[in-house]
Structure 1
Amino acid sequence: MFNGFAESAVSGGTLGGFLLLAFALLIGHALADYPLQGAFLATGKNRNGDPSDFFGGTSVPKRLWLHALTAHSLIHAGFVWVITGSAALALAEFILHWIIDLIRCDERISYNIDQLFHCLCKLAYAALLASGMRMPF
C-alpha cells in the first residue's frame, strides 16, 4: 500500500522515482535524527549514558534507555510509513534503527558507520519500492 507521493514517485520504475523517494526518506531521517531527537532522547537511549541531569538529581527510571531508544526508533518508523505508505517498511525501519542505535550506543560502531547504515536502509527501501516490489502491508 503506497501513499500518493510514493505511488507517483515509483510508478514506471524510473531512476528519477528512486532518487525522489530516496531523497524524501533521507530528509525524514535528517529530521528524525537531529531536531526531533533532542538531548533527552539522545542521552536517554544510551544504556551506558547518564541522563540524571534530566531528572533534577533524583533517581533515573529503571530501563529508561529502552523507552528512549524505542521512542526514537518509532519516530523514524513513522517517517518511513508516512513517506512510503508501507507499514512493512516502517516495521523494518523500527527494528533496524533500534538495533543500529543500540550497537552505536555500545560503541561497537562509530557515529559515521551508524549514519551510513541508516542511510543504506533508506536507499534499500527506495530501491525495493522503485523496483515494483509490493509490500505485504
Structure 2
Amino acid sequence: MESVLTLALMLLAVHWLLDYPLQGDFLSKGKQLGPLRVYHLIAHSGIEGAGVGLVTGNVWIGLAEWLAHTIIDEAKVQGRTTFAQDQALHIACKAVWLAYLLLSATLLHGSSISPWWR
C-alpha cells in the first residue's frame, strides 16, 4: 500500500512542478496566443506526459497523459473550463493512471504495484 501512496504523491508532485514553476511564462502565454500557439500547447503537454511516463515507468501512460493534458489545456484556453476545473481534470487523470496501474498489476501479477525506482 505504501508504494501506491508514493506513486500517487509522485504523480501529483510532477504535475504541480511541471504545470506551475517549470512551465514558465514562455509556454503559459505562448499556448494561448500567437502563430505557434498549438506548438506551445503540445510542447507543454508533452513535458507533462514525459514526467508521468518517467514516474510510472510506462511510456503508454505518458502518451495518454500527453493527449489528455493537451485536450484539457485547450478547453481552458478556449474558455470552456475554469482554472479549478482544469486542475481537477488533471488530477482526475492521475487517478485514472494510478487505477490502471493497480488493476493491471493485480490482474497480471496478483500483487500490488512497485514503482520503477524500487
Give TM class, smaller chain. 0.7 to 0.9
TM-superposed deviation, 1:130:
2.1
Specify the SS of the correspondent of 1:109: coil
Distance between the aligned counterparts of 1:21 and 1:103, measured in 2?
Answer: 27
CA distance in 2, matches of 1:126, 1:71: 24
C-alpha offsets along residues 66-85 of structure 1, whole Å, 9 cap, x if unaligned? Answer: 11001100110110111111
- Check whether the contact 1:18–1:127 (CA below 8 A) recurs between aligned residues: no
How far the C-alpha of 1:18 sits from its partner, in A, is 2.0
| Structure 1 vs Structure 2 CA RMSD | 1.4
Kindly indicate whether residue 90 of structure 2 is the aligned counterpart of residue 118 of structure 1.
yes
Q: Say which one has the larger Rg.
A: 1
Cα separation, 1, equivalents of 2:79 and 2:5: 32
TM-score by structure 2 length? 0.84
Q: Give 1:94's aligned residue.
A: 66
Q: After the TM superposition, which segments of 4 or more aligned residues of structure 1 sit over 2 Å from their partners?
A: none
Contact 1:28 1:79 in 2 (8 A): yes
1:83: which partner in 2? 55
**Secondary structure of the structure 2 residue equivalent to 1:35:** coil
- Normalised by the size of structure 1, how large is the TM-score? 0.73
- What amino acid does structure 2 have at the position aligned with 1:31? L
**Residue 21 in 1 paired to residue 7 in 2?**
yes
Structure 1 unaligned runs (5+)? 1-13, 50-59
* CA deviation after TM superposition for structure 1 residue 127, in Å: 1.7
| Partner residue in 2 for 1:72 | 44
Count of residues paired in the alignment: 106
> SS state of the match for residue 9, structure 2?
helix
Partners of 2:3 and 2:75 in 1: how far apart? 32
Q: What fraction of aligned residue pairs are identical, expressed as a percent? A: 39
Structure 2 spans left out of the alignment, 5+ residues: 109-118
